[in-house]
Every structure is written in structure tokens, then in C-alpha cells.
Amino acid sequence: MSPSKRLFVFDFDWTLIDADSDYFVFEHLSAELSKIQLDSIGKVQWTDLQQRLLGELFDRGVSREDIERTLASIPFAPERIEALKLMKEQGSDLYILSDANTVYIETVLKAYNIDHLFTGIITNPASFDSRGRLNVTRYHGLDKQPHQCPLPCEPNLCKGLELQKLIDSHPWEQVVYMGDASNDFCPSTRLSRERDDLVLARRGLSLETRIKERPELVKAEIVFWQDAQDVLEITRDIFFGRNRTGVAFLGSSLGSTAASSTTSLSTMVESSSSASSAVDSLSIDEVKTSSQVLSAVESSDSKMFAQAVKA
Ligand SMILES: [Mg+2]
């Protein structure tokens, strides 16, 4: 492997796709189970809840083909596909790090013929049994010791620990993490300013809220994006420089001397040398009352609420 490789790691729901795949399946295949899914938020661990509801979906006669056809209908923005292809063409390694499951993600990627772009997918394992019942289990199983992340990551998956393993696996030229939700905050704290790492945070969702609550924990440059076109522009900036079109997303960490129109928080946020000790002192209760959930309730958007609580 070339030492000059970049590592791109993506969340899936509301990051690579503009939907929550867990919610999308039930919304389109069973209105009743979709309502149960929403009503169960916060009462049952999310992966365990999907496993139970997928059993009920099977009992109601929904087939493997129904689920696969539904997943293949999730829109995948062409600009995101173009951005992913550019990253790959430039020799980068691409990973997905998600709290969905292997069947959902692989089915969507195959539907758009982009599965070959990714080196790996880290998510909850899933498979259809011989009858066509989809089973999903926790990535960090109940047979293991708790992952003990000091941040309030879900017991089934600490994205920060998994990203750290990827970071430690190679002397990357740069690491870029892209996400939207509260569970993308922990991996965002693992990136390095010295390596010019980037956090690409979706604007207006709970990752932005978490970053603004605890900016001292995120040492890397933060760039906010809103839609697939933004992602494509940022990707072009990363590889070809931010002056190439006059559309500038990236800040000074890429070495440009031009006036910045960046949406980065970098001018507001001082990187903290005591970030790790701050993580250690973070109380779980403190973050569980995060404005992420409150803002979702206020928005009265059930899909966003599902995602916010899930994360
Ligand atoms: Mg997400």
C-alpha cells in the first residue's frame, strides 16, 4: 500500500443516502410495524428492535425479494456517486462505518453498482435464512465485554473505536470522516489536525449540535455540508485544490492562501491538547439529554426523530 493514500470513512444513513434505511424498510413494507418501530424508540436497544421487527415482518408474509426491492428503491444521489468514484480513482481507501446492517448497505450499493468502490463495511452483521427471514445482530455482540467507550456510544457499536483501528492500520496521508448524527461524534474526536484530517459534518443535524456543544474534543478541521452537490465540491477541493472553481469549502488546513469562504468551524474552535482527558470526564447522562433529541421532537419530523434517537 502506498503511504500517500487517503482514508475516507462514511456513515451510511443520512450521509451516503438521504434516508434512514432501518426506517425506510418498515415505512414502505408495513405501516403498523413502522409505528411500532417509532413507539419503541428508547425502550429497546435499536439493533435488537430491528431483529424483532424483521421477524414480525417475515411472519406477515414480507419476502426477501420485497425487502431487497425496497432497499434498491432508496435514492442515491448521482453527485455522491461521482464523488465516491473520484476518491477511488485517486487511490483512496473507502470504508462505511454504520449502525445499519450488512444486508441493507450491500443491497443499496449493489443496486447502484458501486459496491466495488469500498474496501470494507463495518456494521451490524445480517443475513437471510433459508426461509427468507432477515436476521440482524449487534456488531459488538452480547458475548463480548462492553466496549467501554467514555462517550455515550450505543452498546452494539462504538464508531470511534472502529475508526481508530482503521487509522492505526496504515500511515495515512489524510483521514476524512463524514457523518450526520450523534453517533458520528465519537469518531470525529479520533482525527488529527497534524495530518490535516477532515470531519465532514452534515449541517443542521445532531453531529453539528454535538460538535458545537463540545468543540474542544474535535481536533481536526470541520467542514459542514448540506447536500450531495456540496459533497462533490468538497471532494474536488480535497484532490484538486479549493481554487479550481471559485467554490471553496475547505479551509486553511489544505494550505491555500486565498480568502476563505469555508463553512468550517476552525476559526471558532481552538484545538485542545487535553481532548482525551475531556472525553474521560464526559458524563453519559450529560450527553443523553443532548439537544439532538430535543430538536428532533421540536421538529415533529418522525423520520428525523427516529434517526436522532437511534443515534
Ligand atoms: Mg447517519
Query: Domain 6-18+76-124+145-310's class?
Result: alpha beta
Distance in Å, CA 159 to ligand 1 centroid: 11
User: pLDDT of 190-222, one tens digit each?
Assistant: 999 999 999 999 999 999 999 999 999 999 999
Q: At what angle do helices 206-213 and 291-299 cross, to 10 degrees?
A: 140
Walk across the sheet containing 93-101 and list its strands.
Answer: 120-124, 93-101, 6-10, 174-179, 198-202, 221-225
Distance in Å, CA 260 to ligand 1 centroid: 28
Rounded-to-integer distance, Cα 249 and Cα 237, Å:
7
Distance in Å, CA 307 to ligand 1 centroid: 7
Residue pair 181/311 in contact (Cβ under 8 Å)? The answer is yes
Q: Does the structure show a pLDDT above 80 at 158? A: yes
pLDDT at 273: 33
Domain ranges within the chain, ordered by starting residue:
6-18+76-124+145-310
Q: Does the structure show a pLDDT above 80 at 106? A: yes
Q: Which of 13, 99, 180, 237 is catalytic?
A: 13
Distance in Å, CA 121 to ligand 1 centroid: 14
pTM of full prediction above 0.75: yes
User: pLDDT of 49-59, one tens digit each?
Assistant: 999 999 999 99
pLDDT at 256: 31
State yes or no: is 11 an active-site residue.
yes
% of residues, the chain, pLDDT over 90: 69
Rounded-to-integer distance, Cα 1 and Cα 92, Å:
10
Q: Does the structure show a pLDDT above 90 at 268? A: no
Q: How confident is the model at residue 258 (pLDDT cuts 50, 70, 90)?
A: very low
State yes or no: is 115 an active-site residue.
no
User: pLDDT of 231-255, one tens digit each?
Assistant: 999 999 999 987 655 555 665 333 3
Collapsing DSSP to helix, strand or coil, 174 comes out as strand
Burial of residue 17 (number of CB atoms within 10 Å: 0-12, 13-18, 19+)? buried
